[in-house]
Chain A
Amino acid sequence: MNLFEQAEFERLQYLTRRHFLLKCTTGLGAMALGSFLGCNSSGKSTGNTAKALAEHSTNPLLPKPAHFAPKAKRVIFLHMAGAPSQLELFDYKPELMKLNGQSCPQSLLEGKRFAFIKGVPKMLGPQAEFKQHGQSGAWVSKHLPYFSKVVDDVAFLKAMHTNEFNHAPAQLLMQTGNGRLGRPSMGSWVTYGLGSENENLPGFIVLVSGGKQPDAGKSAYGSGFLPTVYQGVECRSKGEPVLYVSDPKGMNRDLRRHTLDAINKINEEQYKEMGDPEIISRISQYEMAFKMQVSVPEAMDISKEPESVHQMYGTSPGQSSFANNCLLARRLIERDVRFVQLFHWGWDAHGAGKEEALNFGFMDRCREVDQPMAALIQDLKQRGLLEDTLVVWGGEFGRTPMLENREGKENPFTGRDHHTEAFTVWMAGGGVKGGVSFGETDEIGYYGVKDKVHVHDLQATILNQLGMNHEKLTYHFQGRNFRLTDVHGQVVRDILA
């Protein structure tokens, strides 16, 4: 057994035993363990062996039981790459408006590290009007008119904080639990922990919009030191939906079927000669590949959705947009994809240029995400999927209550610098209470003052909703058990239903 197999084996043995102890279903537990171990030792019948080996430990995406009964079966994470300003969206600070244009007090600057602020910047009041919405009276700015209508399904975490003040490291911390390269991402951990319920689609799918990859690149959804089978698979709106999923030009499905039949039959011949169980495993992987070639394009094709759905999301088939990706997320979730990760790039509103100004580019981004993300919540809800699907929205850090003064000078446009001390994340569905606001920042939105939630706490909470104890979801690497939350993380129980 290699280390991976051994870890898997031990984990499953543990889980099986636990399951068996809890439920007293001796037969089932023993059977699960048996089939897991089941390398058919007779080696006589290829068919049976294939079946046994589909369950073999080298199929690392086999569905696995959670640590405890999960509230959420799947996750959609909407990552706003570049970090939107909480002060223009959710964290309403009328006091900050009063300080608008005044010099920032030294006490807020001393001992702090900023990406671009130099010297003494000016304070910057909220650049948007706010109103309360819904039964819960949630404060949301006028930038998000559609989203304002679904706030009663949403729990806000208003005193989020992080350790990293540059984009790539902060995205890595948010998605992998560590600000440096090399760790597995949340979706990888989740598919490693729970496997995939749909063997015809990848268990962890990534959808990117905004014209760019996230700043941290594929490392934001990579598998780090976990086997690469757990990395996020990017599904694209242009070109092949998944790389290499289309048959080559000049070959149709029937001919592909013929080639697969030939490959598998020869492999069976080879198995008779060599007896290596890995050959049987390969046969089943080729069959899965064949199915994936149909199921991926089918899942990615939104053109057959009814017009009402397109109007709801603001989608138009064939485009690459956040709206399309939200609709795709729903379609993938319907097909039991475990973890769908969206990145929408372009939120870095420093004010150094028009595209990154709070009063220009930032507002465009708001328009791009507002309707579809609200539609996603509504759509999941009306389909009964929101109950067991956790939706998470947020950037990698927040923005300063100060006006950015890059190089000590006034920027051409209005913007804010990166800020680690306070930002807002919201969650919906998957066993999270709706209409809740948890955590408070001070009067100017600089520090969290009550119920602060660290990025690791958010991660612990997401895993908890999936039925996993973040301290137990571990992988042995370089001499120790690593986990998503490193040595930190507390589940935010107050927002759980």
Chain B
Amino acid sequence: MKLLRNLSIQMKKKNSLSLIKGIGVASLVYLAGACSSNEHIDFNADIRPIINTKCISCHGGVKKNGGFSLLFREEALAETESGQPAIIPGKPGESELIKRLVHDDPEYRMPLDAPPLNEEEIRKLKAWIKQGAQWEDHWAYVKPKPQELPKVSNTAWPKNGIDYFILQKLEAEGLQPSPEADKTTLLRRVTLDLTGLPPTQTQVDSFLKDNSPNAYEKVVDRLLASPHYGERWTAMWLDLARYADSKGYEKDDFRNIWRYRDYVIESFNKDLPFNQFTVEQLAGDLLPEPTEKQLIATGFHRNTTNNDEGGTDDEEFRTTAVLDRVNTTWEVWQATTMACVQCHSHPYDPFRQKEYYQFMSYFNNTRDEDTPNETPTLNFFKQEEQTKVQLVKDWITNHSPAKEKAQQEQKIRHFLQVLEPKFHGHNFDSLTKGVLTGDNKSPGIHHTGFTRLKQINFTGKTQVFTRYAAESPGGVVELRKGAVDGEKIGTWQVESTGSRWKYVVKSFFIQPTEGTHDVYLVFNNPAAKSEVAIVDWVVFSEAMPGWDKPGFKAVQDSLLSLHNTAKPDRMPILQENGETTRRKTHVFVRGNWLVKGEQVQSGVPASMNPLPKGVPSNRLGMAKWLVSPENPLTARVTVNRFWEQLFGTGIVETLEDFGSQGMKPSHPELLDWLALQFMHEQQWSVKKMLKQLVLSATYRQSAKVTPELQEKDLYNRLLARGPRVRLTAEQVRDQALAIGGLLSTKMGGPSVMPPQPAGVWQVVYSGLQWKNSEGEDAFRRGIYTFWRRSVPYPSMITFDSPVREICVSRRIRTNTPLQALVTLNDTVYIVAARGLASRMSSTKDEATIEDQLKTGYKLATLREPTAAKLAILKQLYTNSLSYYKEKPEEVGAILGEEQSTNTQLAALTVVSNAILNLDEVITKE
């Protein structure tokens, strides 16, 4: 009764009316029936929801009002500002928490300025404290548990384990599964799902003919073996990798990183186990003697944005990239919203702010520093350069000591393809008689001026490579150890590069020096009109093998000429700092990178599984930690992602957030079962996992929405029917091209520029141009379309593709008029319609118009049209035909061939345009 009194006071105060009262009373009645007095209180089911909705915004990771937080048990039981703990386990009556919930004075009663907790909630909290105020981890942070297959009545329906979990719930809800989709529909669905493309008519025919019991499984196996399988799943992965062919921000220049995209395609196609796929992308460079592919894999985290705008602080945007790597890693593998923890401890989930920076420390020691040249890069050479490449390779091989043969490949890669660690313009300080020039990036030093590099490890480093520009010949740069007048350890004779704008890579030798020292570069050239030299970067390297042998000069010239290639092919990769250049990682106070707090060491959050035994405490160890069987999240998050792609909605709908603010799994036991299958039975094989999903009876159901299902399960969370969702941006395009008979099956290589409307690219300070690709490159699959972040391909964005600035796990499907305009009017779709029209008209000479229309409809949907649909198409054809007969000048225009007078083909093109826009065509049924 007291509660009702409170409610009515509350209502007066808020001037509210009967609706709240209604809700309040209704929920009271509901809750009162839900809980008996002696039951065990379950923290996750009973208590956490109260804390998260009513308490945590003031008493959690962000705010700890009154010195009280409910985020962790030890915090909740700790002394508050009053000097007393608010919760005393076993003693609800003495716990301030309870007292404050029922306090008469609204100034003291919690939650402050909000409706009081209801009686049931208070009773639960009391019981929970009485029972010891035990904490339980949120389900997602507890390892998946082995699951028995549930008991079901309709034992004839399940085809594999998945179906038992689905059916059990359907039976509990009084629902029946839908019948299996017809064979054609099922074939189209599974082909689109596994390869992103529609099946061909031949494939349909052969499936229809095949009456063997495993006909469907054979199709699935064929699709999993198709090279298009890798392309389809890469489309999904590239959103996570925030892959783009440009760097972002103002200039948004070209980024040469398509080899990473091809790596992903290849990895899916060869079914690289997902744990290995993970390790290679996050730490391929730290694997022992990494292969070229494993270095390319590290492009995953070089997809972060780069800011080349003049006058930026490189460290600021390097930091931005590192933070993004942390957030992306947590989103992709852990579905945990770690970005929250950048500024403060997580408001809801068990992560402390310090732990964010401990984790960031894993990523904070790569060599990339937001420089426009994107180093570290992996260099690739053109065919015509192969002689020089071979010369260098042979020389290094022939001059390496026999016992180092195993490392030869790494050496060759060092000198030819990587050449790190580079020290960039911004690494130089103490600039005297010099300033940063060239967009504020590179030190340009005048006669008698100098600059310093700090803490260079010289041990074993006697060869220096530098990229620089110098107008005047005859410059001399002395390298002095420790001080500007310190011991001279080397002299660089600066050759003119022709102008202060032309940068060239050169090399010189210095004397052997032990240890780590500051080095001063002292510039002299009395004849220089401007700078003695402008330095882009410097590398202190071990000397090339055989540097003192006859013939070396020619080899070195070849090497340098390769580094001076006019249009280099260099792909950004990850490379780790050496010991002496390791960065210290600090907590950023309130997330502000300019305000550095406590220094931290690398580590994973305490609430998670520890690092596996024997792994190094670096990025590689972190990657192995993610795919350790002890990690509660990686397998669940991954199977959920693939599930969502097939079924339209994840078992956990919030793919990006498994934390306590994400949505609860619709079928938690199924998720655990699938995760364990994936890790153990399937040994992280994505193909095996997908096969299991698509072979289930659940997947094979018809997508028909009956009134009963619409009433009971509008959003199909119970899966009493098959998925029915619009195709993705890439699939809409690829399918249209396939139906039009235009799709190129060429795989891989640099991104292409299919037709896009003129004038879309108008980016400041950038010479990058959109040039329509020629030949089959105009008709490649969507994943090969050049992706520029500041001006993404318009039709992709219209169909909900993210811009790829940051990782986006889930495309929110929308349905808008702008999408209709794309498929109705975009040249790509008109060309596809022309293609379909000519396929319709070229069937048979004696084909009637009905036959042709049927053919067109069938090419797009793989089915025969109903009589009603055929009549509608016929009507459109007739109208179109009379239009073109009246206006013969329009025929050439619609067909894109000025001279054409083929009115029938023109009319078929209009019909094709309509067919390509049908809901059943742009939807997976």
Contact = CB atoms under 8 A, between A and B. Distances in A.
Contact of A276 (B331, B705, B892, B894): B705
Interface stretch (B72-80, B310-318, B474-482, B689-697): B310-318
B892 A229 contact: no
B797 A228 contact: yes
A267 B868 CA distance: 11
A479 interface: yes
A476 B249 CA distance: 25
Nearest to B252: A217
B28 interface: no
Contacts of B320: 180
A21 B19 contact: yes
B819 interface: yes
Contacts of B795: 244
Given A259-B910, A274-B703, A218 B820 contact: no
A42 B790 CA distance: 46
B722 to A, nearest CB: 11
B879 A266 contact: no
B182 to A, nearest CB: 12
Contact of A259 (B16, B817, B914): B914
A99 interface: no
Contacts of A276: 703, 705, 724
Nearest to B797: A228
Interface string A217-230: 11100100101110
B863 to A, nearest CB: 11
A167 B308 CA distance: 11
A249 interface: yes
Given A228-B800, A248-B825, A286-B817, A266 B872 contact: yes
B310 A116 contact: yes
Contacts of B710: 39, 41, 43, 275, 277
Interface string A134-148: 000000000000000
Nearest to A41: B711
A213 B817 contact: no
B872 A218 contact: no
Nearest to B857: A266
Contacts of B757: 239-240, 243-244
Interface stretch (A288-296, A321-329, A373-381): A288-296
Residue picked from A43, A202, A239, A276, most chain B C-beta under 10 Å: A276
B444 A262 contact: no
The A interface is mostly helix, strand or loop, or mixed, namely: loop
A488 interface: no
Contact of A246 (B15, B653, B726, B825): B825
A244 B657 CA distance: 36
A263 B918 contact: yes
A244 B707 contact: no
Interface string B326-340: 010001000011011
The B interface is mostly helix, strand or loop, or mixed, namely: loop
A219 to B, nearest CB: 6
B249 A169 contact: yes
Contact of A222 (B20, B331, B437, B803): B803
A169 B307 contact: yes
Contact of A407 (B336, B339, B437, B913): B437
B763 A212 contact: yes
Interface in B1-46: 15-17, 19-20
Interface string B647-662: 0010001101101011
A442 B858 CA distance: 75
B340 A478 contact: yes
B527 interface: no
Interface string A42-74: 110000000000000010110000000000000
B812 interface: yes
A116 B816 contact: no
A20 B22 CA distance: 14
B341 to A, nearest CB: 10
B797 A58 contact: no
Contacts of B876: 258-259, 261-262
B883 interface: yes
B654 A3 contact: yes
Interface residues of A, number: 99
A282 interface: yes
A250 B913 CA distance: 13
B366 to A, nearest CB: 19
B740 to A, nearest CB: 14
A116 B806 CA distance: 29
Given A168-B309, A218-B791, A480-B337, A3 B917 contact: no
B892 to A, nearest CB: 7
Contacts of A168: 249-250, 307, 309
B249 A262 contact: no
A251 B724 contact: no
B818 A42 contact: no
Contacts of A229: 814, 816, 818
B794 interface: yes
A269 B880 contact: no
A497 interface: no
A202 B821 CA distance: 13
Interface string A3-23: 110000000000001001100
A216 B707 contact: no
B518 interface: no
A58 B814 contact: yes
25 contacts: A119-B435, A168-B250, A168-B307, A169-B249, A182-B805, A213-B791, A216-B250, A217-B789, A218-B790, A218-B803, A231-B797, A239-B757, A244-B826, A247-B824, A255-B910, A259-B876, A275-B704, A282-B815, A286-B917, A289-B821, A292-B821, A476-B661, A479-B659, A479-B661, A480-B340
Interface of B: 15-17, 19-20, 248-250, 252, 305, 307, 309-313, 320, 327, 331, 336-337, 339-340, 346-349, 435-437, 440, 444, 649, 653-654, 656-657, 659, 661-663, 703-707, 710-711, 714-715, 724, 726, 757-760, 762-764, 789-792, 794-795, 797-798, 800-803, 805-806, 808, 810, 812-822, 824-827, 830, 866, 868-869, 872-873, 875-876, 879-880, 883, 890-895, 906, 910-911, 913-914, 917-920, 923, 925
Interface of A: 1-4, 17, 20-21, 24, 39, 41-43, 58, 60-61, 113-116, 118-119, 165-169, 180-182, 202, 208, 211-219, 222, 225, 227-229, 231, 233, 236, 238-240, 242-252, 254-256, 258-259, 261-263, 265-267, 269-270, 273-279, 281-282, 285-286, 288-289, 292-293, 345, 407-409, 418, 476, 478-480
Given A266-B873, A277-B705, 19 more contacts: A1-B714, A43-B707, A58-B814, A182-B805, A213-B762, A217-B250, A218-B790, A248-B894, A250-B891, A251-B910, A258-B880, A259-B913, A262-B873, A263-B917, A266-B920, A267-B918, A277-B710, A278-B919, A478-B337
